[in-house]
A and B are shown apart, each in its own frame.
Chain A
Amino acid sequence: AAGVIQSPRHLIKEKRETATLKCYPIPRHDTVYWYQQGPGQDPQFLISFYEKMQSDKGSIPDRFSAQQFSDYHSELNMSSLELGDSALYFCASSPQEYTGGAFRNTEAFFGQGTRLTVV
C-alpha cells in the first residue's frame, strides 16, 4: 500500500540558508500535518492543512511557512536556518471519516521523515 512520501530524506544546509521539504500524502487523504522532532525530543506539531487551507497551527516559527497544493502535496519552507532547526521533520496524512456526529481524522499515517542538519 502507498505510504506518505517525504523528500528529501536527508538535507544538510548552512546557517541562514533556506530549505524546502516536500510531503506527498497517501492518495485520497485530504489532511496533512507537519511535525518537528529534535534530538531526544518528542514530536512537536507545527501546522496542518485540510483541503489546501491551513486548519491548525502549533509552535511553528515565523521563519517557516507551509502550504498544500492542488494535488494535495505539501511543502514546508524554512528560511534563515539556525543550528536549532536541526531535527527530524515528519509529515503525516489522514483521511476523514464521519464518526461521533462529525467529520474527523481518526488515524494519521506518518512518513519516514526528513533529517535536516544545519551546520
Chain B
Amino acid sequence: DAKTTQPNSMESNEEEPVHLPCNHSTISGTDYIHWYRQLPSQGPEYVIHGLTSNVNNRMASLAIAEDRKSSTLILHRATLRDAAVYYCILSPLYTGYALNFGKGTSLLVTP
C-alpha cells in the first residue's frame, strides 16, 4: 500500500479554519484519498474522499494537489467537537479491500 505522512498533531482555535495536510508521494493512479476521524472513545468516522478533483461535503472540503502527491482536509470552522485524530488513507476501495489506518494527526481545538 502507498504510504501517507501526516503531522503528529495540530492545534486550532475554535471558529477558525483548519488545514490538515497529508503527503502521499507514492500514490497510484487507482488510489482514492480518504479521510476518517476518530473522536475519543469512539469508532472512526468517515469524513470525505476524492480521487482527482476537490470535494466538498457538509463536514469538510478536500483539496487534492494537481499531481495527487498531497492533499489537504479543510475544516471551515473548527468546533470543540472537531477535536479528534484525523487519518488520511489511500485505497483503491475495491469491494472488501482493506482500509489501512496509519499514523494520523491529533487535532486540538481550543476555545
Q: Is the CB of A33 within 8 A of B45?
A: no
Task: Decide if B111 is an interface residue (CB 8 Å cutoff).
Answer: no
| A residues lining the B interface (CB < 8 Å) | 4, 31, 33, 35, 42-45, 48-50, 55-56, 58, 90, 92, 96, 100, 102-113
The residue in A31, A48, A103, A108 that gathers the most chain B C-beta atoms within 10 A of its C-beta is A108
Assembly CA distance A58 to B111 (angstroms): 40
Question: Looking across the interface, which residue of chain B has its beta carbon closest to that of A91?
Answer: B43
B52 nearest CB across to chain A (Å): 10
User: How would you classify the secondary structure of chain A's contact residues: helix, strand, loop or mixed?
Assistant: strand
The residue in B87, B99, B103, B104 that gathers the most chain A C-beta atoms within 10 A of its C-beta is B99
Assembly CA distance A90 to B43 (angstroms): 7
CB-CB under 8 A from A49, the residues of chain B are 96
Q: Is the CB of A55 within 8 A of B97?
A: yes
Assembly CA distance A75 to B100 (angstroms): 20
Task: Identify which of residues 75-103 in chain B touch chain A, using a CB-to-CB cut-off of 8 Å.
Answer: 85, 87, 92-103
Assembly CA distance A56 to B98 (angstroms): 6
Compute the total of residue contacts between A and B using a CB distance below 8 Å.
73
The residue in A42, A44, A90, A106 that gathers the most chain B C-beta atoms within 10 A of its C-beta is A42
> Can you report 6 residue pairs joining A to B where beta carbons are below 8 Å apart?
A4-B43, A45-B99, A55-B97, A90-B43, A105-B97, A108-B46
Q: Is the CB of B101 within 8 A of A43?
A: yes
Q: Is the CB of A107 within 8 A of B49?
A: yes
Q: Is the CB of B43 within 8 A of A113?
A: yes
Q: Is the CB of A33 within 8 A of B43?
A: no
